């Protein structure tokens, strides 16, 4: 395995907190990350890595597979992308590695079978919700607080829009907390690894975009009852007849607050809201 500190030295770079660059340098953590894919029994024939940095994790991902298995890494920093192409020239020549230079939110992503990534924390939410709808096993690094919110259960202080949206697509598990010292330079907060096993939800959603927007709307009023939240957030949900939704909804649900609602309850309420609340054009 390539030495993480050696890679940084050869690249001639330093991580820049202002650019969300914190290089993972702890060999033990780097060695463990791919094993979480094994626990998910993931297909590793084409792995995607977002934020390749100097290639320490890339090196481990390449070592996971056989000669016919591929890795694609996306790196937005042009200098680091150049370094990856130089450092892994042999793997690129053997068509085992592809380096895509660009923003992971904008570039065309390849067909991939699973992803292991140390995400840039500033855009971790946006990238995650680009990956989750692909319904592939994911092992992703986040800030600890963000990770705890992803896996939170109803009725807890961490439970929120992020919990419902994540659990709509996957079964998340916080598999490891990572100390600041595992990175160069150390970030301001502790990190955590979340494994995400894709799943079909145990409820029906007619319009996924409306469902996610409706959840977002109600959580903007998480301290209010669902009755008041529906009425107060029509400008977010797009409902033209929020009172009709309140009239039609079950009283037990209306007395709850958003942070006590299970994803299946949100789904049922969203379906009702869409049928009687007349979402506006384009909503």
Please tell me the predicted confidence (pLDDT) of residue 280.
58
Query: For residues 116 and 138, what is the distance between their CA atoms, to the nearest angstrom?
Result: 6
∠189-193-196 over CA atoms, to 5°?
Answer: 140
Which segments are annotated as binding site? 22, 24, 51, 75, 103, 118
Q: Which of 35, 48, 96, 93 is nearest to 75 (CA)?
A: 48
Q: Which of 234, 255, 55, 263 is nearest to 153 (CA)?
A: 263
User: E strands within the chain?
Assistant: 23-24, 46-50, 70-75, 97-101, 114-118, 138-143, 170-178, 183-184, 191-198
Query: For residues 80 and 42, what is the distance between their CA atoms, to the nearest angstrom?
Result: 28
What tens digit of pLDDT does each residue of 201-252 get? Answer: 999 998 999 999 999 999 999 999 999 999 999 999 999 999 999 999 999 9
Burial bucket for residue 123 (CB in 10 Å: 0-12, 13-18, 19+):
middle
Which segments are annotated as binding site for S-adenosyl-L-methionine? 22, 24, 51, 75, 103, 118
Helix axes 208-219, 161-169, angle to 10 degrees: 160
Distances (CA, A) of 217 to 82, 116, 132, 212: 43, 31, 21, 9
What tens digit of pLDDT does each residue of 133-162 get? Answer: 999 999 999 999 999 999 999 999 999 999
Please tell me the predicted confidence (pLDDT) of residue 14.
86
> What's the pTM?
0.93
């Amino acid at each position: 395995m390539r030495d993480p500190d050696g890679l940084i030295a050869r690249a001639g770079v330093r991580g820049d907190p202002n650019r969300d660059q914190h290089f993972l340098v702890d060999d033990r953590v780097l060695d463990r990350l791919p094993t979480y894919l094994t626990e998910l029994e993931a297909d590793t024939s084409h792995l995607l890595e977002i934020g390749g940095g100097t290639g320490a994790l890339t090196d481990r991902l390449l070592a996971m597979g056989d000669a016919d298995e591929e890795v694609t890494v996306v790196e937005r920093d042009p200098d680091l992308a150049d370094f990856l192409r130089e450092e892994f020239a042999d793997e690129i020549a053997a068509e085992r590695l592809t380096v895509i230079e660009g923003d992971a939110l904008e570039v065309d992503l390849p067909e991939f079978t699973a992803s292991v990534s140390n995400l840039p924390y500033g855009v971790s939410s946006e990238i995650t919700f680009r990956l989750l709808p692909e319904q592939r096993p994911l092992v992703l690094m986040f800030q600890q607080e963000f990770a705890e919110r992803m896996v939170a259960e109803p009725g807890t202080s961490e439970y929120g829009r992020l919990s419902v949206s994540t659990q709509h697509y996957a079964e998340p598990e916080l598999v490891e907390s990572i100390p600041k010292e595992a990175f160069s330079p150390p970030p301001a907060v502790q990190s955590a690894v979340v494994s995400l096993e894709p799943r079909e939800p145990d409820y029906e959603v007619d319009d996924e975009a409306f469902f996610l927007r409706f959840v977002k709307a109600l959580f903007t009023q998480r301290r209010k009852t669902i009755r008041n939240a529906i009425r107060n957030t029509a400008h977010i949900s797009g409902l033209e007849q929020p009172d009709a939704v309140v009239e039609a909804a079950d009283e037990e649900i209306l007395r709850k607050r958003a942070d006590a609602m299970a994803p299946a309850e949100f789904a049922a309420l969203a379906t009702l809201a869409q049928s009687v609340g007349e979402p506006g054009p384009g909503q």
